[in-house]
């Protein structure tokens, strides 16, 4: 079995898109893959209820309980390892992970970022693209490396920046594309992943 563990901090719209795609395209039958668990650093993350509706295991590792980022990441790894992950997917997980955590899951840790990397790593990407006069923005799926919002690029979507765009209107159009490219990037990796014993 190829288990996918998704990490979220909020509503989980990308998580939902991945779950829908896994069901629609029968990842279990085609690749022996499934979304095995959804873990959040926030107990009030809306995506947890959605995961439970799909009978997916959920867990919460509250970052506020830990004095250091390293301690949090250690406990997060314990929660992840309960599900024997083949792939760990960051879907709106708003925590910067330590290099040790990233190295542990090297090659199996994915993120989606709402810009055309390497442009605009970090936060407030849509406003920064508008302020810079960019004609195009978009989203990037990439493997996670210790350097923030870097790593091998797996998928991109390009969205035009319209003359009357605000950060909110641009973000909404980019999000539509995120929901398409993230599941597609994951599906492309599934044939080459190794699984755990059923």
Nearest one of 146, 154, 151 to 185, comparing CA atoms? 154
Give the length of the chain: 198
- Residues whose CB falls within 8 Å of the CB of residue 19, separated by 6 or more in sequence, listed in order: 35, 50, 51, 54, 56
Greatest CA separation found in the chain?
A: 53
Pairing type for strands 136-143 and 57-60 reads unpaired
Pairing type for strands 136-143 and 109-113 reads antiparallel
Q: Which of 54, 63, 113, 124 is catalytic?
A: 113
124 annotated active-site: no
Catalytic residue numbers, as ranges: 113
């Amino acid at each position: 079995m190829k288990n996918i563990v998704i990490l979220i901090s909020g509503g989980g719209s990308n998580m939902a898109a991945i779950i829908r795609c896994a069901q629609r395209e029968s990842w279990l039958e085609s690749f022996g893959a499934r979304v095995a668990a959804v873990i959040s650093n926030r107990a009030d993350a809306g995506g947890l209820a959605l995961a439970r509706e799909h009978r997916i295991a959920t867990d919460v590792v509250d970052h506020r309980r830990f004095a250091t980022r390293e301690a949090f990441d250690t406990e997060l790894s314990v929660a992840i390892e309960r599900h024997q992950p083949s792939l760990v997917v960051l879907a709106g997980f708003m925590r910067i992970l330590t290099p040790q955590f990233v190295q542990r899951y090297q090659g199996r840790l994915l993120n989606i970022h709402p810009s055309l990397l390497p442009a605009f790593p970090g936060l407030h990407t849509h406003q920064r693209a508008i302020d810079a006069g960019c004609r195009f923005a978009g989203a990037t799926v990439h493997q996670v490396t210790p350097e923030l919002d870097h790593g091998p690029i797996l998928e991109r979507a390009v969205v035009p920046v319209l003359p009357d765009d605000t950060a909110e209107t641009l973000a909404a159009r980019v999000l539509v594309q995120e929901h398409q490219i993230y599941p597609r990037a994951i599906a492309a990796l599934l044939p080459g992943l190794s699984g755990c014993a059923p």
